[in-house]
């Protein structure tokens, strides 16, 4: 008789070192359970169980890696993070509850009082509210620039500029920026470039390859593709994602 998942000794996993984008889009990041399921398993659980109080203590104390609570880690969310990281060519991704919370996480984690953002004026309206109404309360200021004019990006730089932010194409005007050139300007003053890649998705544009440091997505749009979910993700290096 065929062995059930409970009797199996090893998980069935595939390496995808040379896989094409379309294969990565359906396979990367999947961590099959012992049942050997074809599609991604979904783990609707808030918390997890342990074989002993000692194991629970080690997990909660950070001495042992593993799931403790789904706000921190959840296998379904982790598969989404690994898959988006594979598609964008990022070292790591951090999933968020929406696109706006992805952008908020970047602001709260990487900026502090007195810092300055240079932002394209052609961005989703809630981003402007977030920067002007909320981050401003923490003493973080923003200058908005014409995304197509490299001179305006340069002229907006202040001694305290820490972050550049753009969407390309933008919502709703579909304005396009020269991501590589803007990354070079940002890096010239040791600022980070954050690109909202919501509209093209990694299928059509991979901003890290163009010099961006961080990508944010509203997964609510094309990444979901069916109008059923609200979600977001931040992607970049291990070091930056650790802060996020």
Which of residues 88 and 196 has its CB atom nearest to ligand PLP in the complex?
196
Binding ligand PLP (rule: CB under 6 A), the pick from 111, 118, 177, 198 is 198
Binding ligand PLP (rule: CB under 6 A), the pick from 81, 88, 115, 196 is 196
Which of residues 28 and 171 has its CB atom nearest to ligand PLP in the complex?
171
Residues 157-176 contacting ligand PLP, CB under 6 A: 167, 171
Q: How many residues does the chain have?
A: 244
Q: Which stretch binds ligand PLP (CB under 6 A): 19-27, 76-84, 98-106, 152-160?
A: 98-106
**79: CB partners within 8 A, 6+ apart:** 29, 30, 31, 40
Q: How many of the other CB atoms lie within 10 Å of CB of 39? A: 8
In whole angstroms, give the CA distance from residue 79 to residue 27.
Answer: 10
Residue 196: in which H helix or E strand, if any? strand 192-196
Q: Which stretch binds ligand PLP (CB under 6 A): 6-14, 59-67, 95-103, 149-157?
A: 95-103
Which of residues 142 and 218 has its CB atom nearest to ligand PLP in the complex?
218
DSSP character at residue 69: B
**100 is a contact residue toward ligand PLP (CB under 6 A):** yes
Phi, psi (deg, nearest 5) at residue 80: -60, -45
- Total binding residues for ligand PLP by CB under 6 A? 13
Residue corresponding to tokens 């070192």: 17
Nearest approach, Cβ of residue 225 and ligand PLP (Å): 13
Tokens of 162: 């820490």
Q: How many of the other CB atoms lie within 10 Å of CB of 167? A: 27
CA angle 100, 41, 214 (to 5 degrees): 30
Which of residues 29 and 99 has its CB atom nearest to ligand PLP in the complex?
99
**234 is a contact residue toward ligand PLP (CB under 6 A):** no
- Contact residues for ligand PLP, defined by CB under 6 A: 98-100, 124, 126, 167, 171, 196, 198, 218, 220, 230, 232
């Amino acid at each position: 008789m065929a062995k059930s998942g409970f009797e199996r000794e090893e998980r069935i996993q595939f390496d995808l070192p040379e896989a094409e984008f379309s294969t990565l889009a359906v396979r990367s990041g999947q961590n099959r359970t012992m049942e050997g399921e074809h599609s991604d398993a979904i783990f609707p659980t808030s918390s997890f169980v342990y074989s002993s109080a000692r194991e629970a203590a080690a997990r909660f104390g950070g001495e042992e890696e593993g799931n403790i609570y789904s706000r921190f880690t959840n296998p379904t969310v982790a598969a989404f993070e690994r898959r988006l990281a594979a598609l964008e060519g990022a070292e790591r991704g951090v999933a968020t509850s929406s696109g706006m919370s992805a952008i908020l996480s970047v602001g709260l984690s990487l900026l502090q009082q007195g810092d300055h953002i240079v932002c394209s004026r052609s961005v989703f309206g809630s981003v402007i509210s977030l920067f002007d109404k909320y981050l401003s309360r923490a003493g973080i200021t923003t200058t908005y620039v014409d995304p197509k004019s490299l001179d305006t990006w340069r002229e907006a730089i202040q001694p305290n500029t820490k972050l550049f932010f753009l969407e390309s194409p933008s919502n709703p005007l579909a304005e396009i920026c020269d991501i590589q050139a803007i990354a070079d300007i940002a890096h010239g003053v040791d600022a980070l470039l954050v690109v909202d890649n919501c509209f093209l998705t990694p299928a059509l544009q991979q901003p890290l390859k163009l010099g961006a440091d961080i990508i944010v997505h509203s997964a609510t749009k094309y990444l979901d593709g069916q109008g059923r979910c609200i979600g977001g993700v931040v992607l970049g290096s291990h070091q930056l994602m650790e802060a996020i």
